[in-house]
Structure formats: C-alpha cells, structure tokens
A = this chain, B = another copy of it.
Amino acid sequence: MPHRKLVARLQAVLGVSEDDRKKLANMPHAIKTFANGEFVVHQGDRTSRCTIVMSGFLSRQKVLGARNQILSFYVPGDIPDLHTLHLPVMDHDLRSVGPSTLAFVTHSFLIDILVKSPALMRAFWRETLIDAAIYREWVGNLGSRQAQPRLAHLLCELATRLGIVGLLEQDSFDLPFTQQDFADALGLSAVHINRTIQELRRQKLVEWEGRTVRLLRRSELERLAEFDPSYLHLNKYE
C-alpha cells in the first residue's frame, strides 16, 4: 500500500471513511523515482495527473530574473500539484530536491472518486486550502522577519510537517537541501544563510551537520520564529 503516508495525512486532517480509505489505498498509479534536481513538471506544462510524494522532497520554483525562487517545499504524503485538477497549466516548476519517489494518479480517476464521495472532495479541497495557508505564512515570513527568525520559522514548519508523517525523531530530521536551497526559498543569499545557520548553532538552537538538522530547545526556537502551527490546520475541525 504505497500511499500510506497520504492516507495517514488525510486522516489526520479530516476523517475519511473506511470505504474511502480503501479507494485511496487502491488507487491505480504509476511510480517513478527522480534524481536530485530533476524536474517533475515544467512551468507551462498542461498536466492530466497528480503527483503524490512517497519519499524525498520536492520544491516548487520559478525563475525570476537572476534568482531561482523556491515557492514551497513538499514532503512525503503531500500532493504538490493537486490544484492542477482545476488549473491544469502549471505556472511554475516542480523539482526533486535530493532523490525522491513519486506516485502519479490520473485526474480522471481522482475526479471520479471525488464526485462519488463528498467527504473525499472536502478532504482534497481542504488540502489545497492548507497549501494556500502555507503560502500566506510564507508571505508573512518573507515580508516581515529578518534572516534569523525567517530561517527559524522555515525549520519549525518543516519539522512540524515532517512530524505529521512520522519523519521526525526527537526533533531531528534529514533534509537533502543545500544552503543555496534555503537561500532560494527565503529570499536571502547563500552566504547570509550560512552565517545565519552559524548564529543559530552558536546560540545552541540547532545542531546542523551535513544533511541532518536537530532542533534543540524547540520552544525557544519557536518563540524566536514566532511560530504558531495553527496555520497548518492540523486539527480537523479548524
């Protein structure tokens, strides 16, 4: 059952019936692995299938002038292009950060099961709304915080989202991101990201060696980042 993480997420986010759970578990799908940096979908593509992240990470990005702006990250269990159900032309790229394994499900199949199950429709719509809430939070993060709290906020978000799908161990997680990736996501230069990380290390708020990040004194870090997870709408009634 390859969609375990997706099903787990949908359940965490909104009660899904036993019947619907079966439908999800038995979705016809194609599986493909992607190498680091490989494009999954290009800006301007018209697509007729959705992507489910099974392992690894994706970034949504857009080339703006000289920059490669990252608009969001996706973790296992996410459906980064669920919106293509109703907006089939991609207005940005989807790219693998580190190696990843993805499942593809056709729009027609999804539409079919959504039409038959209002609860599932609601759950999927809700997923796209939470995606939007995350962008909103990023707008606030980029618009109003300086480098240190800005980076801290992203780390808190990633930790929380990874926690939902069981990829967090004692506030520690593996990320295939380079410092340049953080720079691209946060609107800062790679050099400044480096110095900001060092500052977080110096303050004993994170351990960060290679691709492994551990949040120390997480509540302290969340205070610094003004992180309030309510925008992730983890409670299925909110």
| Chain A interface (Cβ < 8 Å from any Cβ of B) | 46, 60, 62, 64-65, 67, 69, 71-72, 83, 86-89, 91-92, 115, 118, 121-122, 125-126, 128-133, 135-136, 138-140, 142-145, 185-187, 226, 230-231, 233, 237-238
Contacts and interface: CB of A to CB of B under 8 A. Distances in A.
**Copies of this protein chain in the complex:** 2
Given A139-B71, A238-B87, A65 B128 contact: no
Nearest to A235: B89
Contact of A132 (B115, B131, B143, B233): B131
Contacts of A71: 136, 139-140
15 contacts: A64-B140, A65-B226, A69-B144, A72-B136, A72-B139, A83-B129, A87-B129, A91-B133, A91-B136, A91-B230, A128-B128, A135-B138, A139-B142, A142-B187, A143-B186
Contact of A89 (B67, B87, B144, B230): B230
A143 B187 contact: yes
Pick the 10 closest A-B CB pairs, nearest first: A143-B187, A135-B135, A132-B132, A142-B142, A89-B238, A67-B144, A64-B144, A86-B126, A69-B144, A83-B129
Given A126-B86, A129-B86, A92 B136 contact: yes
A62 B140 contact: yes
B126 A129 contact: no
Contacts of A136: 60, 71-72, 91-92, 135
B69 A143 contact: yes
A133 B72 CA distance: 12
A91 B136 CA distance: 10
Contact of A130 (B87, B125, B230): B87
Contacts of A139: 69, 71-72, 135, 138-139, 142
A233 B87 contact: yes
A218 to B, nearest CB: 20
Given A139-B138, A142-B187, A143-B187, A88 B132 contact: no
